[in-house]
Amino acid sequence: MKVKVKGIYKHFKGDYYLVEDIAIDSETDEKLVLYRALYGDNILYARLYKSFINKVDKKKYPNIKQEYRFELQDIKSKKIHKK
């Protein structure tokens, strides 16, 4: 799975986040996803890329229907565009 910068993702527990960018840890060279909460104080988080794209642990969360920890959302505009 490839993470889309500026995409809106739903966490498997229900909240939504905006992916701000992809970064590289200067000490380990690991890829990080920088993502901002779309609720509350809009905190900016960083998570290892490989953790961001992990599948949900179905043994730990058997009732979760979402397959991945974060899933890209296809949010349509409510604005009517005139041609």
Domains of the chain: 8-72 (2.30.30.320)
d(CA 30, CA 48): 7
The two three-digit tokens of residue 72, written as one number? 């890209």
Q: What is the pLDDT at residue 44?
A: 98
Q: What is the pLDDT at residue 80?
A: 75
Rounded mean pLDDT, 6-32: 97
First CA to last CA across the chain, in angstroms? 35
Model confidence band, residue 83 (pLDDT cutoffs 50, 70, 90): low
Residue pointed to by tokens 């397959």: 67
Q: What is the pLDDT at residue 76?
A: 83
Flag whether pLDDT at 29 surpasses 80. Answer: yes
